Structure 1
Amino acid sequence: MNTVTDDDWRRPGPTPEQRRFDVYVGLAATLLSLVSLTLARSTGAFLLGPPPSGPEQVFWTVALTLPLIWRRRFPAAVTVIISVGFIAAQARSAPEIQLASWALFAALYSLGAWGPDRRLARRLRVGVIATMFVWLGAYYAVSIDSIPADAFAGAVGPVPPVVAAMVNGVLVNGLFFGFAYFFGETAWLAARRQHEVQAQAEEVRRSQAEIREHAVVGERVRIARELHDVVAHHVSVMGVQASAARRVFDKDPVKARTALSAIEETARTAVDELRRMLGLLRARDGHPDRAEQPGPAGIDQVTAVVDRAREAGLRATLGVYGDPAPLPESVSQAAYRVAQEAVTNALKHAAGATALDVRIRYLAHEVEVDVTDDGRATRPANADGLGLVGMRERVATHGGALEVGPRAGGGWRVRARFPLPLPVRPA
């Protein structure tokens, strides 16, 4: 699994709505800075010294605020432009410094919050902040000799006035740039966490969709297996009995009527089982009365399967060995379906089969279903028919073992072992 680090993640660019908002912000900041410039010129408060010409003052004012229009699209370029313009404007004694300072703050914040390359964003911000402090030191060094003698006439504190002014300037600028860096980093981390939450939510949705899909597939497989077991067995028995009735219809009407009666009974049983299955499927949505639905077939109904094989003309026998123990419903039903499918295969594929032997053995830790016949198999042992696949799935679901193949002395064998839960068998 690949892990995305903080430096690898890229924040998506601004949306069209955010870009339009930046345009409004940049234009508003430019307009306000021009108003601030007008007020500064009107008061004559030129704190940085004699100002340049009027057009140059307007140029520096616009150059420091208008780039905010692109602050989220190109945060690194905007930060460099505003930083260089900020130092150049102060070097030229541009009178508008209030909105220019906040434009520099917004640029540093935007670079921290939206910079796509995190290493570049950090290095560039640290470089800009360091350059600003170097510029502040140079400004102090150049202007200290030009301070008037009476500039600090009212000073009464214990700290020398010049030192106090320098320390105050460093503290204010430290807080200014520190907050710009901190808030930008915090905004980026918040966007990263939101991305992780959205990614986790999407992963949960995908997992839920996969679980639902697997559940649907599993339900379809279960329904197909049940339908195959029910329909294939009963139709196979009906086909054998119909063939027998056809052969003796003219010679022995009594046997023909017996075969037809067996076909009728088998068809009725098949319809009842299909009705039970359809009722269980509808129960998920319609909540029918459970009392009206017959219970699922279990191992105790293997006798009926053997009887139908006997009615189809085979010498079918059933033997139960060991002390019968109460089985979990799922195990009992799986054992029944395996026996039913094995008998069905004997009727369909065992050419010349005359005898069928079904044995159920209750062992110490498992129950075994063993079905053998004396016919000649008409399909290979590794055939992937639906019946064999269904038996394998049923046995594997309960952690059992399945053996299917020809017998050494002739005929075919299906043997399934189902492990029993510990509470089922006494110690």
Structure 2
Amino acid sequence: MSVEAAAWRRPGPTAKQRRNDVLVGVAVAALAQLNLMLATSAGLLPLGDPPSRPEQIAWTLVITLPLAVRRRWPAAVAIVISVAFIAAQIRRSPEQQVTQGALSAAIYTLGAWSRDRLRARWVRIAIIVAMFAWLGIAVGLSVPDVPADAFPDAAGPLEPLLAAVASGVLLNALFFGFAYFFGETAWTSARRRHQVEVQGQELRRLAAEAGERAVMGERVRIARELHDVVAHHVSVMGVQASATRRVMDRDPAKARTALAAVEQSARTAVDELRRMLNLLRSTGADERPDGSGVDRLDDLVGNARDAGLTATLGVYGDPVPLPDSLSQAAYRIVQEAVTNTLKHANASAIDVRVRYHAAELEIDVTDDGRGAPPGAPAGLGLGLIGMRERVAAHDGTLETHSRSSGGYRVRVRFPLAESQAVAV
């Protein structure tokens, strides 16, 4: 028995089970009285001359009525019934069948319901040993009184008396063995049901925690997507609106061009928001919406150019087909880098380079702005956190730092699958 099993204590009987025990105890006592009447009426007196009728009734009640509380005090009930059973046999009470059943039920209940397993084991062993000791004493006392012609029809290979004793021992061994075995089985079954309930509760708790983590992960994903989609276009519109305000009076044609770019950026932002919301409603979380892949990086560079930057895009190496999720991650990282340049860098130029190496895809975005302030903690913004999450999801590496020559650099390396590397 494991330490966990030994430490478990079976809960006591419920109110309904206690009521059922009372009904069972009364019913068994009534059945014992009926069987006592039938035995004496038929003259079945296996132990010899019985005591008085009131004493016979008293012995059957003492043996059977304790079953009414058998699950509340299993050890006490088993001891009382076993002692009363032996005493009734000493007094030659003729009722045997129902009282033997009561004794068996008491031993079974002690094994099935006792909360102290060590005490239950030793009490049952003591009862069984006492019963066999009494059987030996009873046989020893009755053998001298057995007449020589007591077995007139005996025809087997064994001595009749020896065969009768062996039969009695075998039947009692089966009787007590089954009571002991099924009591242990019932207790083990109850413990396993308890373990299943505990495991079920643990599984429900883990499922609830997993659900909470999934909800939190989905919220983070939605926040990242909203940041990527909205921040870029709003930043572009802000820069273009500022430029429009400065040139509106002296160069209306340029102002109209800038306003048209603001209008186009707003439409693009709305379209991307709509596509993103459709994506979030779908079951495939890694499907990429239209317009968010490395094949559309020129649109991002064009937005930066429309916002007044000198923006360039270079693609080096032989392009290979990329998984949609990887292509989208590369697009979003460039988008975030361009957005940060427009919002924070005070830059005049930005350079985006895509390099297809033999076993990796490299994205390199640099600007000539003011870079990160000295001593500023790196990577605390939502955009940079989103970059790291996207890079980690594809087993890539991310570098973000100020350049010694001025400006800021974002460089990402994504490993390519073996089939893609071969195609390079």
- Give TM-score, length-normalised by structure 1: 0.90
User: In 2, Cα distance between the equivalents of 1:318 and 1:359?
Assistant: 6
Aligned to 2:381: 385
User: In 2, Cα distance between the equivalents of 1:296 and 1:173?
Assistant: 86
8 A Cα contact 1:299 1:332, kept in partner = yes
8 A Cα contact 1:399 1:418, kept in partner = yes
User: In 1, Cα distance between the equivalents of 2:211 and 2:167?
Assistant: 65
Per-residue deviation at 1:97? 2.0
Per-residue deviation at 1:142? 2.1
Classify the secondary structure of the residue corresponding to 1:371: strand
User: In 1, Cα distance between the equivalents of 2:318 and 2:372?
Assistant: 36
Alignment of 1:60-99 (within 5 A): 60-99=59-98
User: In 2, Cα distance between the equivalents of 1:204 and 1:409?
Assistant: 57
> Of 363, 373, 377, which aligns to 2:357?
363
8 A Cα contact 1:7 1:119, kept in partner = no
Q: Does 1:316 align with 2:316?
A: no
Aligned to 2:113: 114
Counterpart residue identity of residue 185, structure 1: E
User: In 2, Cα distance between the equivalents of 1:377 and 1:58?
Assistant: 103
Aligned length: 418
> Of 397, 418, 421, which aligns to 2:414?
418
Classify the secondary structure of the residue corresponding to 1:426: helix
> Of 333, 339, 342, which aligns to 2:337?
342
Counterpart residue identity of residue 412, structure 1: Y
Going from structure 1 to structure 2, the CA distance change for 1:316 and 1:155 (only over 3 Å counts) comes to closer
Structure 2 unaligned spans of 5+: none
Counterpart residue identity of residue 308, structure 2: G
Counterpart residue identity of residue 357, structure 2: L
Per-residue deviation at 1:148? 4.8
Runs of at least 4 residues of structure 1 off by over 6 A? none
Per-residue deviation at 1:418? 0.9
User: In 2, Cα distance between the equivalents of 1:77 and 1:367?
Assistant: 79
Q: CA RMSD in A?
A: 2.5
User: In 2, Cα distance between the equivalents of 1:419 and 1:33?
Assistant: 84
8 A Cα contact 2:356 2:362, kept in partner = yes
Alignment of 1:398-417 (within 5 A): 398-417=394-413
Per-residue deviation at 1:27? 1.1
8 A Cα contact 2:372 2:408, kept in partner = no
Alignment of 1:5-84 (within 5 A): 5-84=4-83
Going from structure 1 to structure 2, the CA distance change for 1:157 and 1:354 (only over 3 Å counts) comes to closer
Counterpart residue identity of residue 227, structure 1: L
Per-residue deviation at 1:342? 0.7
8 A Cα contact 2:110 2:120, kept in partner = yes
Aligned to 2:297: 302
Per-residue deviation at 1:56? 3.0
User: In 2, Cα distance between the equivalents of 1:375 and 1:16?
Assistant: 80
Going from structure 1 to structure 2, the CA distance change for 1:246 and 1:95 (only over 3 Å counts) comes to same
Structure 1 unaligned spans of 5+: none
Per-residue deviation at 1:424? 0.9
Per-residue deviation at 1:43? 4.1
User: In 2, Cα distance between the equivalents of 1:71 and 1:169?
Assistant: 27
Q: Does 1:329 align with 2:324?
A: yes
Aligned to 1:218: 217
Aligned to 1:161: 160
8 A Cα contact 1:401 1:417, kept in partner = yes
Counterpart residue identity of residue 318, structure 2: D
Aligned to 2:189: 190
Deviations along 1:122-158, one digit per CA (max 9) or x if unpaired, are: 3322221111101100111223233456544555555
8 A Cα contact 2:229 2:269, kept in partner = yes
Classify the secondary structure of the residue corresponding to 1:236: helix
Going from structure 1 to structure 2, the CA distance change for 1:309 and 1:35 (only over 3 Å counts) comes to same
Deviations along 1:211-254, one digit per CA (max 9) or x if unpaired, are: 44433332222221111100111111111111111122222222
Classify the secondary structure of the residue corresponding to 1:340: helix
8 A Cα contact 1:349 1:378, kept in partner = no
Aligned to 1:244: 243
8 A Cα contact 2:372 2:402, kept in partner = no
